[in-house]
């Protein structure tokens, strides 16, 4: 997400899943939609069948998706940048680049050219393992079959240079001219229900809702929306400095518990942790997570099922397990991967003691003494919230309407304006009139609307923007240029505004800066003014090959922190150590030890399988799903298995190098011998929990709540490593060794 935002201006999927039906080539890199996004395969396979689209699968594993690919490239995990640069190199050498796109709508192509020149096909083959011939085949297939889309997921981002990897995917699409047109785009698939919505609403520690950041202007804007004095908001924090300092991330919060406060970006340790629909078995460094859970004073686990969190720590007190309502037990709006909003109907009242998310949050605010401020905004108080929230399990539907209206009111930056509860509910009634390929309604009261009113949706007549950065249609119909986020000029003096002739139809036919104060003018006057002139409120700028404000402005290859190639570490080392990143120290170079490749020679990668999802507290408690995939396993290539004397179904130990405090970890799992992985790599699904380093924790579940299947968590052995920008964990590339148990 951060990678996309640094190139185009918005951290979101640019096209939509249905739009893949318009693609003539589909590159699936670092993702496995057949297991993780099964429905999207409908669109991918339709493109293959109807458009004869070339499907290219690039992955260290021959996945269930690879089975449907015309071209499969087995890439060493963590070498995406050399692969993509190898492609761009071939595209440029043959003059296949889209010159109009590059010249008129991008910034600093020269810098990219200089960088990709280092990656000739032989170098790429050495680093990635993809042959020269195959690289050429892929480049030619992408160039010959436009428009094409590039789809990725966690395989691209869960690396110490994940943000840089994502930027190169974007660069490939810019060079091919695949941006801002149907069938093209950078289609990152998000991995959880409404996770795009969570990002939009400010789930991260560095921003308030709508990507406003956490500087004073952002706090002032939102204080105005929430109708609370800025001074009151400020008084809730220890200081203005702490108010404007990014907090801990989900990837490394436990360091805030474990490390000496002198090493932290704040002067105390974390004392309490509140989990809301998040599992601990999806976090790397499980051993440290466990110790943090043992040290922290209070743990609240708010989930429909009892999760790994409740049983992992060796403690007898201070863990509160609270039942949450599922999505069938509450109304809500949710935002999917392609920015579409959808209204969800409640099916049943919350069962047993379960409470809805909103009920529990308002109750928490009440007990902490700021309920009054919590449930109001500049247009008044939310209706339907009782005076006391104690014992209240669910709130009426209009309360959920009020929440969405507040979002509509304040989130002007990304155009969360036109997705009103009324419009979403109307779309729900008229779902059948939307076209499957374009997502556009034909006739009826929703005529012309895009399904889900994807943001930006600028007013309550705007159809939404299904495809971002599209200049062939007017702004009023969902057209836009790249976001002019970085001002009119780059630091080197070059223009950051699009060239003449590249602008959304119907407005000024050139680049222009963002409308002044469009994101903070709560009267929406600035937005109206821009729309009236056919200009896009966020301007018409250039996409960046050179993101000067972040590490590695032009992405370059860096070996994973745990790389099996000491020779390449010497040439392409990781980053310098960082003293403070999201309030914790983040070493890079001092954690990259070339000698590990000898002691731990096997690449360890992790991922998901179709039967389970995330931490899988719910799925492993489902009889039918457990029957299909009953126990934790490791995928091992027949050669590697035979070299270690391991047969299919044998128990094996997976051992990984030490973490930050010098402790190695290990797990005991069953071997699944398969050619899905190459002989140098093993794969672990990360869904299991309830067993730690060979010891079952099943007896620790409260009576009757243990799932049908418990197993070792892959994240006990995933290695140390975090993205330089977002702090995403490097769980796609690590090192390990295996032993027969």
Distances (CA, A) of 334 to 37, 87, 452: 17, 37, 10
* Length of the chain, in residues: 741
**Which residue number, 50 or 570, has a Cβ lying nearer to another protein?**
50
Under the criterion CB under 8 A, does residue 24 sit at the interface with another protein? no
| Cα gap 384→481, rounded to integer Å | 42
**Which residue number, 70 or 269, has a Cβ lying nearer to another protein?**
70
Shortest distance in whole angstroms from residue 161 CB to another protein: 28
- The pair of three-digit structure tokens given for residue 308, joined into one six-digit string: 């790994």
**Which residue number, 134 or 540, has a Cβ lying nearer to another protein?**
134
**Which residue number, 38 or 508, has a Cβ lying nearer to another protein?**
38
Under the criterion CB under 8 A, does residue 42 sit at the interface with another protein? yes
Q: Are 43 and 65 in contact (CB under 8 A)?
A: no
Distances (CA, A) of 206 to 74, 234, 243, 275, 466: 36, 16, 10, 19, 27
Per-residue x/- marks for another protein, 595-614, CB under 8 A?
A: ---------------xx---
Contact with another protein (CB under 8 A) among 38, 445, 491, 501: 38
Which string of DSSP letters, residue by residue, matches 450-512?
BTT-PSPB-STT----SSTT--SS-GGGT---B---S-SB-TTS-B-BPPTT-S-TTS-SS-B
**Which residue number, 404 or 625, has a Cβ lying nearer to another protein?**
625
Q: Is 49 exposed, middle or buried (0-12, 13-18, 19+ CB in 10 A)?
A: exposed
Under the criterion CB under 8 A, does residue 64 sit at the interface with another protein? yes
Distances (CA, A) of 621 to 192, 348, 349, 350, 667: 19, 21, 21, 19, 22
Under the criterion CB under 8 A, does residue 352 sit at the interface with another protein? no
Under the criterion CB under 8 A, does residue 618 sit at the interface with another protein? no
3 state DSSP class of 342? strand
**Which residue number, 261 or 630, has a Cβ lying nearer to another protein?**
630
**Which residue number, 6 or 709, has a Cβ lying nearer to another protein?**
709
Under the criterion CB under 8 A, does residue 62 sit at the interface with another protein? yes
**Which residue number, 37 or 535, has a Cβ lying nearer to another protein?**
37
Q: Is 370 exposed, middle or buried (0-12, 13-18, 19+ CB in 10 A)?
A: middle
**Which residue number, 215 or 628, has a Cβ lying nearer to another protein?**
628
Burial profile 58-78: b = 16 or more Cβ within 10 angstroms, e = fewer: bbbbbbbbbebbebbbbbbbb
Which span (57-65, 92-100, 244-252, 451-459) binds another protein, by CB under 8 A? 57-65
| Cα gap 583→574, rounded to integer Å | 21
Shortest distance in whole angstroms from residue 224 CB to another protein: 45
**Which residue number, 153 or 299, has a Cβ lying nearer to another protein?**
153
Under the criterion CB under 8 A, does residue 72 sit at the interface with another protein? yes
Name residues contacting another protein, limited to 670-729 (CB under 8 A): 674-677
Distances (CA, A) of 502 to 414, 485, 597: 21, 17, 50
Q: How many residues bind another protein (CB under 8 A)?
A: 30
Contact with another protein (CB under 8 A) among 1, 13, 29, 41: 41
Under the criterion CB under 8 A, does residue 67 sit at the interface with another protein? yes
**Which residue number, 352 or 623, has a Cβ lying nearer to another protein?**
623
Place of tokens 């999207």: 40
Name residues contacting another protein, limited to 354-383 (CB under 8 A): none
Cβ atoms < 10 Å from Cβ of 610: 15
Shortest distance in whole angstroms from residue 431 CB to another protein: 16
Under the criterion CB under 8 A, does residue 624 sit at the interface with another protein? yes
Residue 253 CB partners (closer than 8 Å, separation 6+): 270, 273, 292
Which span (49-57, 77-85, 217-225, 497-505) binds another protein, by CB under 8 A? 49-57
**Which residue number, 187 or 611, has a Cβ lying nearer to another protein?**
611
- What is the CB-side half-sphere exposure of residue 400 using CA atoms within 13 A? 24
Cβ atoms < 10 Å from Cβ of 591: 21
Which span (40-48, 544-552, 578-586, 641-649) binds another protein, by CB under 8 A? 40-48
Under the criterion CB under 8 A, does residue 52 sit at the interface with another protein? yes
- Tell me the pairing of strands 54-59 and 25-29: parallel
Place of tokens 């997400």: 1
Per-residue x/- marks for another protein, 652-681, CB under 8 A?
A: ----------------------xxxx----
| Cα gap 392→357, rounded to integer Å | 11
Per-residue x/- marks for another protein, 308-337, CB under 8 A?
A: ------------------------------
Contact with another protein (CB under 8 A) among 48, 221, 291, 536: 48
Closest alpha carbon to 308 in 671, 634, 705, 721? 705
Binding residues (CB under 8 A) for another protein: these are: 34-35, 38-39, 41-42, 45, 48-50, 52, 62, 64-68, 70, 72, 610-611, 623-625, 627-628, 674-677
């Amino acid at each position: 997400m951060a990678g996309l935002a640094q190139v185009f201006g918005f951290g979101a999927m640019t096209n939509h899943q249905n739009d893949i039906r318009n693609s003539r080539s589909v590159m699936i890199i670092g993702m496995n939609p057949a297991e993780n996004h099964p429905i999207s395969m409908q669109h991918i396979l339709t493109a293959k069948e109807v458009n004869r689209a070339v499907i290219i699968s690039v992955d260290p594993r021959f996945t269930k998706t690879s089975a449907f690919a015309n071209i499969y490239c087995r890439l060493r995990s963590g070498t995406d940048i050399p692969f993509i640069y190898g492609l761009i190199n071939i595209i440029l050498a043959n003059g296949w680049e889209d010159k109009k796109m590059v010249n008129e709508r991008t910034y600093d192509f020269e810098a990219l050219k200089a960088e990709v020149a280092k990656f000739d096909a032989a170098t790429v083959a050495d680093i990635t393992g993809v042959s020269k011939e195959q690289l050429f085949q892929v480049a030619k297939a992408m160039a010959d079959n436009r428009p094409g889309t590039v789809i990725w997921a966690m395989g691209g981002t869960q690396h110490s240079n994940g943000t840089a990897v994502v930027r190169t995917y974007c660069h490939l699409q810019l060079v091919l001219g695949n941006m801002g047109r149907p069938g093209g785009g950078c289609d990152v698939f998000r991995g959880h229900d409404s996770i795009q919505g969570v990002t939009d609403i400010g789930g991260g520690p560095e921003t308030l809702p709508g990507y406003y950041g956490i500087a004073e202007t952002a706090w002032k804007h939102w204080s105005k929306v929430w109708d609370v004095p800025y001074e009151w908001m400020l008084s809730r924090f220890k200081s203005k400095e702490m108010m404007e300092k990014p907090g801990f991330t989900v990837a490394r919060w436990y360091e805030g518990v474990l490390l000496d406060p002198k090493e932290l970006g704040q002067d105390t340790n974390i004392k309490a942790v509140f989990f809301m629909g998040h599992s601990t078995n999806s976090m790397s460094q499980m051993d440290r997570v466990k110790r943090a859970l043992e040290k922290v004073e209070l743990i609240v686990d708010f989930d429909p099922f009892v999760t790994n969190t409740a049983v992992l720590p060796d403690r007898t007190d201070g863990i509160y397990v609270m039942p949450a309502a599922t999505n069938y037990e509450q109304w809500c709006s949710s935002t999917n991967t392609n920015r579409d909003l959808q209204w969800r109907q409640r099916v049943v009242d919350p069962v047993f003691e379960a409470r809805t998310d909103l009920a529990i949050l308002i109750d928490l605010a009440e007990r902490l003494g700021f309920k009054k401020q919590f449930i109001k905004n500049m247009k008044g108080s939310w209706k339907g919230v009782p005076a006391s929230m104690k014992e209240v399990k669910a709130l009426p539907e209009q309360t959920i309407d009020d929440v969405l209206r507040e979002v509509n009111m304040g989130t002007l930056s990304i155009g969360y304006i036109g997705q009103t509860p009324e419009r979403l509910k109307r779309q729900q009634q008229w779902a059948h009139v939307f076209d499957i390929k374009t997502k556009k309604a034909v006739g009826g009261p929703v005529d012309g609307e895009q399904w889900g009113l994807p943001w930006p949706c600028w007013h309550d007549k705007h159809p939404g923007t299904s495809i971002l950065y599209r200049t062939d249609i007017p702004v009023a119909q969902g057209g836009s240029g790249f976001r002019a986020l970085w001002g009119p000029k780059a630091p080197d003096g070059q223009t950051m505004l699009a060239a003449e002739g590249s602008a959304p139809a119907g407005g000024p036919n050139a680049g222009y800066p963002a409308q002044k104060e469009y994101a903070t003018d709560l009267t929406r006057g600035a937005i109206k003014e821009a729309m009236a002139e056919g200009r896009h409120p966020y301007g018409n700028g250039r996409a960046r090959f050179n993101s000067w404000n972040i590490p590695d402005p032009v992405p370059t290859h860096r070996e994973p922190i745990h790389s099996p190639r000491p020779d390449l570490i010497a040439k392409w080392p990781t980053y310098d150590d960082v003293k403070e990143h999201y309030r914790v120290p983040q070493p890079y170079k001092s954690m990259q030890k070339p000698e590990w490749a000898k002691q731990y020679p096997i690449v360890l990668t992790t991922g998901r399988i179709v039967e389970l999802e995330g931490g899988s507290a719910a799925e492993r408690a489902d009889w039918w799903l457990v029957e299909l995939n009953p126990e934790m396993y490791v995928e091992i290539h027949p050669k590697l298995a035979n070299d270690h004397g391991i047969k299919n179904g044998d128990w094996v130990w997976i051992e990984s190098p030490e973490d930050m405090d010098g402790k190695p970890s290990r797990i005991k799992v069953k071997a699944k011998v398969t050619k899905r992985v190459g002989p140098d790599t093993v794969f672990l699904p990360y869904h299991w929990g309830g067993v730690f380093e060979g010891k079952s924790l099943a007896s620790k579940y409260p009576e009757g709540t243990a799932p049908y299947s418990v197993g070792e968590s892959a994240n006990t052995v995933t290695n140390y490593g975090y993205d330089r920008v977002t702090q995403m964990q490097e769980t796609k590339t690590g090192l390990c060794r295996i032993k027969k148990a």
